Structure 1
């Protein structure tokens, strides 16, 4: 039996438009791998959809526990791996060894500067990067599906 995650929506607030299609994408991927869409996986997916920017698995554990759900760390890590395989999230490199992830399905590319001196991740929006990506792919007869551009830096942040 497939269970939908129960969205925690305030009265009058709409469910994120990406939720239903993303849920279907994840279900199809799980089914093709012979896996099930469990209530725990649904809750992890729901939490990931609500995350802004890069997140750590430990943040998901904390968020789910604050919401009153008990989901093991192992389930969260396995679900994140399944979401990576489905093209829903990707691992983001940081200045330390702590794995971080960000949602990429249905999102424009999130290019970042990673401060290796304090682990801050700064999102940058440079349209020329997309133009360059498209130009490089066209040169090789390819169609881009996504990209990741990260700069690793230290120093003072310019206001």
Structure 2
């Protein structure tokens, strides 16, 4: 049994500072993950390394089940060049636990969709973006939203705070699929 994980936003948060500069230097992602693991008394195992590599290779939002399927179909180099070891030894539970640890490290971020499966995006070192959830299809897209970052930073400055991140999620669908709800009085 290991020590409890730090809560979101705890002092051990290692997320890089938000920056709009495309070449901003951030701490290596592996070092951030190792430090988070050490803080809770866990080790950086080969299984966790494979999961981290798979997550870092993601360029679009992903589900844990997709990650598990990908890990089970790929191979990793074994000590002998002719031998390939299937990565299927990484259990489903290990993938889910590692994703939680990656969230605690600020490396991945869960997108709250209210769906059966959680959707995640790579957050560490990434330029802040918005998330667009297509309500017709359930598809998730990322988009650049520098004006939202400016609003976030301005609000924090006004209150004497330092931003550590944000989530901007837009739920949108075609007009033909829009729910027929009564409009809010302020929207009329």
Normalising by the smaller structure, the TM-score range is: 0.7 to 0.9
CA distance in 2, matches of 1:136, 1:30: 33
Match of 1:44 in 2: 51
How far does residue 113 in structure 1 lie from its aligned partner after superposition? 1.1
Could you say which residue in structure 2 is the equivalent of 1:22?
29
Q: Greater relative contact order (Cα 8 A, min sep 6): structure 1 or 2?
A: 2
After superposition, residues 131-146 of structure 1 pair within 5 angstroms as 131-146=150-165
RMSD (CA atoms) = 1.6
Distance 1:140 1:63 in 2: 44
Compute the TM-score of the two structures, normalised by the length of structure 1. Answer: 0.81
Question: Deviation of residue 95 (structure 1)?
Answer: 5.6
- Cα offset for 1:126? 2.4
The total of aligned residue pairs comes to 138
Which 4+ runs in 1 deviate beyond 6 A?
A: none
Q: What CA distance in whole angstroms lies between the structure 2 residues aligned with 1:98 and 1:112?
A: 16
Unpaired runs of 5+ residues, structure 1, are 1-17
Alignment of 1:50-129 (within 5 A): 50-67=57-74, 68-70=86-88, 71-94=90-113, 96-129=115-148
The answer to whether the 8 Å contact 2:72/2:87 transfers is yes
Moved more, 46-55 or 89-98: 89-98
Structure with bigger gyration radius: 2
Write out per-residue CA displacement over residues 2-53 of structure 1, whole angstroms, 9 at most, x where no aligned residue: xxxxxxxxxxxxxxxx9x8111111111011100111100000000000112
SS state at 1:34 partner: coil
C-alpha distance in 1 between matches for 2:58 and 2:143: 18
Q: TM-score, normalised by structure 2?
A: 0.69
DSSP-derived class of the 1:47 partner? helix
